[in-house]
Amino acid sequence: MSIAEPKHPKADSGDRVRLGLIGDNIARSRSPDLHRLAGKLCGLDVSYELFVPPDMGSDFDAVFDACRASGVRGLNVTYPYKETVVERIRTAGEDVQRIGSVNTVVFGERGPIGHNTDHSGFLAAYRATFGQMQPGRTALVGAGGVGKAVAFGLAALGAREIAVIDRDEERARGLAEAVAAYSEGDVSTTFAVDAREALRSADGIVNCTPLGMVGYPGSAVPLDLLGSQRWAFEAVYTPVDTPFKLAAEASGLKVLSGFELFFHQGVDAFRIFTGLTPDLTALRRLLVEAASN
């Protein structure tokens, strides 16, 4: 079900705001730091908890319901639940419904409403890093939750062609067809289960798989094919310096790091949760300081 973009209640200075992140393998997430520090900058008392269903001996639905019942104002949702959660919420507008994945949920009187700040965050991060550079022909590896958000973002940025690569051929085909329909033919899309052919002709390479993340070693992108492209985006940010990111930089590509997506999507999510926007320069500084402690 699609609804008009909702206006969530704005938090007042001094308010206590309970937030959280639900996902697997999230012990090293920087989201607690980002939201607590953003809250501090805005005069809010923000708590931010990590909910890992397997570690809690429960499933996603039970944890989601428990968060709602216990008074959590909002949840971020990460791998592997960004598509699962869509069945539990109403979406905030047609764009979120079209993408088919949600990473930000607000609990309100009308029930949980889902947003996708991976999409808005990617647009902001891309423009902040690359300016007006066109994506050109892009090979996108990984058609899951973040891959969907980024694929539609690439179309919005004016990509000429998007090759969607995923081990699940049906999922790759589905995303390619959805983006083609959204662009009304302006973006040429293809799909494949192997990245090698698409990489040879690509201007940009995007990794939207969890490979490279702590607990998921390796690279979904064949590193020996890097060098002829102009730019790369690594969605993983824990750690920031993944094998793919380091190899892309060593090959001379302009690189957009996963930290930039994390930062911009997090700021957008905080704004949705609270109605407030922190000082971004100050927030970056505080995050760097927190990481060094």
pLDDT recorded at residue 95: 85
pTM for this model (two decimals): 0.93
End-to-end C-alpha distance for the chain, whole angstroms:
44
Q: How many helices (H) and strands (E) does the chain have?
A: 10, 13
pLDDT recorded at residue 5: 52
Question: Are residues 219 and 226 in contact, defined by beta-carbon separation less than 8 angstroms?
Answer: no
* In the predicted structure, residue 9 carries a pLDDT above the cut 80: no
Q: Domains of the chain by range and CATH?
A: 2-115+265-292 (3.40.50.10860), 119-256 (3.40.50.720)
Q: Which of 111, 82, 95 is nearest to 5 (CA)?
A: 95
* In the predicted structure, residue 1 carries a pLDDT above the cut 70: no
pLDDT recorded at residue 244: 98
Say which residues have a Cβ less than 8 Å from residue 226's Cβ, sequence separation at least 6.
Answer: 199, 205, 232, 247, 248, 251, 253
Hey, which residues does 205 pair with through a beta bridge? 139, 232
Q: Which of 292, 214, 197 is nearest to 258 (CA)?
A: 214
Catalytic residue annotation? 81
Stretch 3-10: mean pLDDT: 59
Other C-beta atoms lying within 10 Å of the C-beta of residue 200: 11
| Average pLDDT for the chain | 94
pLDDT recorded at residue 162: 98
Handedness of CA 192, 198, 199, 204 (dihedral sign): negative
Stretch 149-177: mean pLDDT: 97
Other C-beta atoms lying within 10 Å of the C-beta of residue 279: 12
* In the predicted structure, residue 7 carries a pLDDT above the cut 80: no
Strands (E), 151-203: 161-165, 188-192
| CA distance linking residue 123 with residue 114, whole number of Å | 18
In the three-class reduction of DSSP (H, G, I as helix; E, B as strand; rest coil), residue 16 is classed as strand
pLDDT recorded at residue 92: 83
pLDDT recorded at residue 213: 94
